[in-house]
């Protein structure tokens, strides 16, 4: 259960900072609330692995709910991160993976310069719990925001940035890591939803490279994402409602 879900969940890898100082990286918010994007998830050889949906919602207090839903016949995986609307600074995170082997629930809460993460595993009518705490330094974001966060940066030729990343809603023990991003240029990308001109954003580490492609126009949706293990291909995109 956990192994398959981890493969589908957006990767949170240990990355090098390449000497860049960390900074807040949100430049502008390109989306409107109510947006929804659907993806086919495939292995490197093109073999279908599952489906994914990214949603942008708003709670009753005007905060963002960044929702990720993944699944195939063997499991479902739902992740909800609540953030400040303008900055994407994290407030709470919840992830629930349900499969034949049981249920994994992860709940995190940011407060007073720390994040507290409670992990609950339910298998064979047995329940195990563990609580971890991490300090939250300046220029930090939750890893659950990654594919949303990269979209808000000042995407353009030569853009580079580094920030602190809190990997909370992960199967392994939570950890603080440092992330760097680099815009490698523009590319034409073909996916089931059509052909897009896109910014190629590279996220690197020693021996690990992730790549995300964001459309250069409109609300800059994520059209393709390669996390080093699987590839996300945009099937459909629905804009939110302008208020």
pLDDT in tens, 54-88: 999 999 999 999 999 999 999 999 999 999 999 99
Average pLDDT over residues 36-49: 92
Is the distance from CB of 25 to CB of 152 less than 8 angstroms? Answer: yes
Q: What is the CA radius of gyration of the chain?
A: 17
Q: How confident is the model at residue 215 (pLDDT cuts 50, 70, 90)?
A: very high
Is residue 16 over pLDDT 60?
no
Strand pairing class (75-83; 90-99): antiparallel
118-138 pLDDT tens trace:
999 999 889 999 999 999 999
Among candidates 62, 58, 66, 70, which has minimal Cα distance to 4?
70
Is residue 97 over pLDDT 50?
yes
Is residue 179 over pLDDT 70?
yes
DSSP state of 143: G
Length of the chain: 243
Cβ count near 25 (within 10 Å)? 19
Q: For the chain, which residues make up each domain, given as ranges?
A: 2-237
Is residue 156 over pLDDT 90?
yes
């Amino acid at each position: 259960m956990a192994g398959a879900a981890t493969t589908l969940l957006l990767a949170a890898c240990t990355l090098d900072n390449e000497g860049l100082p960390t900074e807040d990286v949100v430049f502008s918010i390109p989306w409107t609330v109510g947006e929804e994007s659907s993806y086919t998830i495939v292995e490197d050889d093109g073999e279908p692995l599952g489906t994914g949906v990214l949603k942008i919602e708003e709670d009753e207090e005007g905060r963002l709910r960044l929702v990720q839903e993944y699944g195939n016949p063997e499991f479902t995986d739902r992740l909800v991160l609540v953030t400040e609307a303008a900055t994407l600074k994290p407030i709470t995170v919840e992830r629930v993976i349900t499969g034949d082997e049981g249920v994994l629930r992860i709940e995190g809460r940011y407060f007073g310069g720390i994040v507290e993460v409670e992990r609950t595993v339910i298998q064979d009518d047995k329940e195990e719990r563990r609580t971890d705490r991490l300090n939250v330094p300046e220029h930090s974001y939750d890893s659950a925001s990654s594919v949303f966060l990269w979209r808000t940066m000042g995407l353009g030729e030569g853009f580079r940035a580094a920030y602190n990343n809190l990997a909370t809603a992960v199967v392994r023990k939570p950890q603080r890591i440092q992330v760097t991003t680099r815009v490698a240029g523009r590319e034409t990308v073909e996916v089931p939803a059509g052909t897009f001109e896109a910014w190629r954003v590279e996220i690197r580490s020693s021996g690990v490279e992730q790549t995300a492609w964001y459309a250069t126009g409109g609300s800059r949706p994520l059209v393709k994402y390669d996390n080093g293990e699987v590839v996300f291909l945009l099937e459909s995109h629905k804009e939110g409602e302008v208020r």
